[in-house]
Amino acid sequence: MILLNLDTTQNPRLQRNAVGMKDALSRGSAFQDCPDRRETGSEKWDRWHQRDILPLWVADMDFRTPDVVLDAIRERVDHGVFGYTNAPPGFSVALAEHLSRLHGWSVNPDLITSTPGVVNGLAITARLLAQSDDEIITFTPVYPPFLTLPPLAGRRVVPVPLAQSASAWTIDWDLLAASVTPRSKLFWLCHPHNPTGTVFARETLVSLADFADRHRLTVVSDEIWSDLNLDEQPHIPFASLDHPAARRAITLVAPSKTWNLAGLGCAAAIVPDQMLCRNWRAAGGGLVPMINPIGYAAAEAAWRYGDPWRRDLIALLRQHRADAMAAVAAVPGLTCVAPQATYLIWIDCRGTGVVDPQAACEAAGLGPSDGREFGAPGFIRLNTACPTPLLQEALRRLSNAFTGSHEPTSR
Ligand SMILES: Cc1ncc(COP(=O)(O)O)c(C=O)c1O
């Protein structure tokens, strides 16, 4: 099926996505004139291959990474030798400078270790810092690997639901306190939080640090979304707090969400001491590959030179958030707390009475992420990092999904 009248008669890789053209002037062509990702092995676009379902699910963007990153990649390709590669000298320094510039956090580059992905980093902490049957506490709803990784490592996950109100997702401190047992070893924090887009404020982080300290938990803070705060509220790295729990914490970051580099497999862990740095790779047990040289080059360039592009992206994502919130508000029964960060919109569909919102959306030609995977049936998650006209069409289909006309009759 032809999607949004895109011309598929020529080589799709060479085509520009026609749906993005119209709005190019309003937001800059960097975010509207997007390559066609079909037939490129894109996980996002392959999922509903040949079906008229707009894929607004997995968290990557349809935008080209900025030229400053592409130039660095080209330069590394022109070098022509791609042997086994350690982190080049500029990698840790570029990240440390980025963290200092953007978040006011001063990090010793010697305590940065590279890792092929943040998910992989989480998995390593489960093996490195907890024993078999130990418990890892985390807030739900949450990015699915937070729930699936601990059992894969023989550890237990202890989900603590965030409290939902009309305007915010907050911590239920009583529930959190009640979740601790003598087997609790780690707290996996997702900050900013995926899928709700919550940015935890300083007072909240300090209370979490007190909690972790009281129970001798190590906090692992996944801050992969930290460069995409949409409002004035700053991102405060958990490990930057002046607190004993912060000095023991591990932080995971990557350039992949912000500059659309997920396919290059390059992330970093900031650890509290040299010993942990050394043990990190060994904990991979021979299963974790080295990072590829292109990933290193791209990450370093993104951190060093990518900020102007990041700011433009945020301006677009703010507009997309407003569009999505308006569309949600127009459908009776749909609600959503406005995300403070990320390009994700976490929608509560339970008020519509539709039993399977994911199925209803797919029947209406929209492919969100299913809340069930995040531990939250009745919710869906929309990814707004696509050209504006495509988002607008997706929001029209969202509305259709809950008006009844496109609902599957088998429910
Ligand atoms: C909170 C969070 N952590 C980690 C990841 C994935 O990280 P990586 O691709 O580096 O493994 C994602 C991707 O969406 C995410 O949302």
Mean pLDDT of all residues in 391-404:
95
**In this predicted structure, what is the pLDDT of residue 277?**
87
pLDDT digits (tens, 9 = 90+) for 199-208: 999 999 999 9
With contact defined as beta carbons under 8 Å apart, do 274 and 111 qualify?
A: yes
Mean pLDDT of all residues in 15-29:
44
How close is the Cα of 8 to the center of ligand 1, in Å? 32
Give the pLDDT band of residue 23 (cuts 50, 70, 90): very low
**In this predicted structure, what is the pLDDT of residue 392?**
98
Q: Report the DSSP pairing between strands 369-370 and 379-383.
A: antiparallel
- Determine if ligand 1 sits within 6 Å of the CB of residue 373: no
Mutate to test the pocket of ligand 1, among 193, 224, 260 (most ligand atoms within 8 A of CB): 224
- Determine if ligand 1 sits within 6 Å of the CB of residue 124: no
CA angle 161, 121, 292 (to 5 degrees): 140
Mean pLDDT of all residues in 17-37:
62
Give the pLDDT band of residue 21 (cuts 50, 70, 90): very low
- Determine if ligand 1 sits within 6 Å of the CB of residue 119: yes
DSSP state string for 196-220: T-----HHHHHHHHHHHHHTTPEEE
DSSP state string for 278-344: HHHHHHTTT-SPPPPHHHHHHHHHHHHH-HHHHHHHHHHHHHHHHHHHHHHHTSTT-EEPPPSBSSE
pLDDT digits (tens, 9 = 90+) for 343-396: 999 999 999 999 999 999 999 999 999 999 999 999 999 999 999 999 999 999
**In this predicted structure, what is the pLDDT of residue 33?**
86
Give the pLDDT band of residue 28 (cuts 50, 70, 90): low
Residue whose C-alpha is closest to residue 185's, from 225, 216, 153, 149: 216
Q: Which residues sit opposite 160 in a β-bridge?
A: 139
pLDDT digits (tens, 9 = 90+) for 96-105: 999 999 999 9
Give the pLDDT band of residue 87 (cuts 50, 70, 90): very high
The Cα–Cα gap between 98 and 307 comes to: 9
pLDDT digits (tens, 9 = 90+) for 204-251: 999 999 999 999 999 999 999 999 999 999 999 999 999 999 999 999
Show the domains of the chain with their CATH numbers. 12-66+307-401 (3.90.1150.10), 68-305 (3.40.640.10)
The Cα–Cα gap between 402 and 22 comes to: 28
The Cα–Cα gap between 300 and 295 comes to: 9
pLDDT digits (tens, 9 = 90+) for 253-306: 999 999 999 999 999 999 999 989 889 878 877 889 999 999 999 999 999 999
How close is the Cα of 253 to the center of ligand 1, in Å? 9
**In this predicted structure, what is the pLDDT of residue 404?**
67
How close is the Cα of 406 to the center of ligand 1, in Å? 32
- Determine if ligand 1 sits within 6 Å of the CB of residue 383: no
Q: Please tell me the number of Cα atoms within 13 Å of 155 on its side-chain side.
A: 30
pLDDT digits (tens, 9 = 90+) for 298-337: 999 999 999 999 999 999 999 999 999 999 999 999 999 9
How close is the Cα of 26 to the center of ligand 1, in Å? 30
**In this predicted structure, what is the pLDDT of residue 17?**
40
The Cα–Cα gap between 354 and 331 comes to: 12
